[in-house]
Amino acid sequence: MNEYDTLKLEKILEQDYQSVPCPENADLVLINTCSVREKPEQKLYSLLGELSDLKKAKPDLKIGVCGCVAQQEGERIIKRSKAVDIVFGTHNLSLVPSLLKQRELGAPPQVAVNYREDWEDLPLGFSETDKVSVFVSISRGCNKNCTYCIVPTTRGKEVSRSLDEIEREVKIAVFRGAKEVTLLGQTVNSYGKDFTPRQSFASLLERLSKIDGLERIRFTSPHPQEVKEDFIDLVTNNPKVCKHIHMPLQSGSDRILKLMNRNYRKKRYLEIIHGLKEKVPDISITTDIIVGFPGETESDYQETLEVMREVEFDNSYSFMFSPRPGTKAAEMKEEISQKEKLSRLQNLQSLQFEITKKRLDSWVGKRGEVLVEGVSPYQNDDKDTVYYGRLSQNITVNFLGSEVKTGSILDVDITGASKFTLKGAVCI
Ligand code: SF4
């Protein structure tokens, strides 16, 4: 989501600015912050410390802070760092040019962190023109209130973007060479619930899949509670929808899921996964997991490992619980020591490495369709050109070929597997 917002900011500012590789060469530095992980404020202020030294040497340098920390902290950022010129929140991207203008005209540091009820009017498309795969936001905010999560505060209530606008943005990206789109939303599959009359995620997928030249559609992340009866057919029958689902599990214990206010249980989660696997045996499933949530016992933790073994996730993003100020979970009593949490995380990640290895090894000797993204920075010992791209299952393949066109979809014979990627050669 932040990557998407950053691309939008580049687009908004493209008349006056262009990207440069490092802050030393910049006239404007925007720090797009995320507060999902630990210590985002410390990281922000330490970066601002470095930038204020740069500003002393370059007094015309403008510095802005945006994203979730900006949304939460607002005015406090200006008070703590004299180097900052503008602070703007997650609903105020379009205001950047005017905030900068006011600052240039001598106004004091500017802050814009108001929430909006509607979808902010942002320019369509991106300033980059040569991307094979693009992100497109389809909704903003979240109505779920998981007890550990700060997103409903920093991104506000869920607001869906108009179907026409999404379609236009995807068409522009395709016109400029994109072949794949990843639809973004905190709970992407609840798209359209806030419209009157209601619209469905299914109708959005159906409409986008009719766009000529768009070869692949991905989305992240579906919420298990929002998975409707048609979901499995939807993702398995539409040939443009990729064979990869990233569906957060968070915990394999019903007791912990309840404490997290995740409104599904292990049985339902597994039902969805088995339904998907039954229809598409080579589907790739990835997930998010939190270990050491307040009150998580050894047996709760073991249940999470059991689900991992049963599902055989292709990969998982796992984190130790860390309290986010302002969330319910931050007030829950923590009974698990940091050492124990770390040990649980390490064990879980070792298990995931084993499973990932097994899943990747199972590809060796098979053939897969790869969407080519470019020349790989990793070349082999014989100095052949190595290209890279991804399977529909979202697995990266580094492969040998000659005169391979970026954006093409090729059959690649898989010849080997490394820790996270596959190796192959174009099938001739
Ligand atoms: S569904 Fe996702 S974004 Fe929404 S509150 Fe829960 S974890 Fe946060």
Q: Whose CA is nearest to atom 6 of ligand 1?
A: 146
Q: What is the pLDDT of residue 128?
A: 67
Looking at the chain, the whole-number percentage of residues with pLDDT higher than 70 is 98
- For the CA of 262, the nearest atom of ligand 1: 6
Q: What is the pLDDT of residue 334?
A: 80
- pLDDT band of 120, cuts 50, 70, 90: confident
Please list, in sequence order, all residues whose beta carbon lies within 8 angstroms of the beta carbon of residue 110, skipping any fewer than 6 positions away. 85, 86, 87, 88, 99, 102, 103
Q: What is the pLDDT of residue 166?
A: 96
Radius of gyration for the alpha carbons in the chain, expressed in angstroms and rounded: 23
> Cβ(371)–Cβ(177) under 8 Å?
no
pLDDT digits (tens, 9 = 90+) for 175-224: 999 999 999 999 999 999 999 999 999 999 999 999 999 999 999 999 99
Q: Among 143, 147, 148, 187, which is best to mutate for testing ligand 1, by the most ligand atoms less than 8 A from CB? A: 187
Q: Quote the ligand 1 centre to 228 CA distance (angstroms).
A: 18
Q: What is the pLDDT of residue 381?
A: 67
The pairing of beta strand 62-67 with beta strand 396-400: unpaired
Residue 383 has pLDDT above 90, yes or no: no
Beta bridge partners of 375: 387
pLDDT digits (tens, 9 = 90+) for 318-370: 999 989 888 999 999 987 999 999 999 999 999 999 999 999 999 999 999 99
Looking at the chain, the whole-number percentage of residues with pLDDT higher than 90 is 83
Q: Read off the pLDDT of each residue in 99-118 and give the average, rounded to a whole number.
A: 94
140 lines ligand 1 (CB under 6 A): no
The beta strands (E) that lie in 141-249 are given as 159-160, 180-184, 216-220, 244-246
Q: Quote the ligand 1 centre to 32 CA distance (angstroms).
A: 20
Q: Among 142, 154, 322, which is best to mutate for testing ligand 1, by the most ligand atoms less than 8 A from CB? A: 142
DSSP 8-state code for residue 36: S
Q: Quote the ligand 1 centre to 186 CA distance (angstroms).
A: 6
Q: Read off the pLDDT of each residue in 294-310 and give the average, rounded to a whole number.
A: 97
pTM of the model: 0.92
260 lines ligand 1 (CB under 6 A): no
Q: What is the pLDDT of residue 129?
A: 64
Closest CA to 199 of 138, 143, 119, 243: 138
Q: Quote the ligand 1 centre to 149 CA distance (angstroms).
A: 6
Q: Give the DSSP H/E element, type plus range, for residue 346.
A: helix 338-361
Q: What is the pLDDT of residue 31?
A: 97
CA 5 to chain centre: 11
Q: Give the residue ranges of DSSP H helices in 58-162.
A: 68-73, 75-80, 96-104, 151-155
Decide which of 128 and 64 is more confident: 64
Residue 39 has pLDDT above 80, yes or no: no
Beta bridge partners of 411: 369
Q: Quote the ligand 1 centre to 27 CA distance (angstroms).
A: 36
User: Please, what are the domains in the chain?
Assistant: 2-112 (3.40.50), 124-242 (3.30.750.210), 248-362 (3.30.750.200), 367-426 (2.40.50)
Tokens for 22? 């490092």
- Residue 330, Cβ density class (10 Å: 0-12 exposed, 13-18 middle, ≥19 buried): middle
> Cβ(110)–Cβ(149) under 8 Å?
no
> What backbone torsions phi and psi does residue 359 show, to the nearest 5 degrees?
-65, -45
- For the CA of 150, the nearest atom of ligand 1: 8
Q: What is the pLDDT of residue 2?
A: 87
186 lines ligand 1 (CB under 6 A): yes
pLDDT digits (tens, 9 = 90+) for 221-256: 999 999 987 888 888 899 999 999 999 999 999 999
Q: What does each C-alpha distance from 121 to 96, 124, 420 come to in angstroms?
A: 13, 9, 39
Q: Quote the ligand 1 centre to 322 CA distance (angstroms).
A: 15
Give dist(CA 264, CA 252) in Å, integer. 11
Q: What does each C-alpha distance from 25 to 51, 52, 87, 201 come to in angstroms?
A: 12, 15, 21, 43
Place of tokens 């920390």: 69
Residue 377 has pLDDT above 90, yes or no: no
Q: Read off the pLDDT of each residue in 294-300 and give the average, rounded to a whole number.
A: 96
Return mean pLDDT, the chain.
Answer: 93
Residue 380 has pLDDT above 80, yes or no: no
221 lines ligand 1 (CB under 6 A): no
142 lines ligand 1 (CB under 6 A): yes
- pLDDT band of 384, cuts 50, 70, 90: confident
141: left (phi over 0), alpha (psi -120 to 50) or beta: left
Give dist(CA 262, CA 223) in Å, integer. 9
- pLDDT band of 121, cuts 50, 70, 90: confident
- For the CA of 149, the nearest atom of ligand 1: 8
155 lines ligand 1 (CB under 6 A): no
- For the CA of 187, the nearest atom of ligand 1: 1
144 lines ligand 1 (CB under 6 A): yes
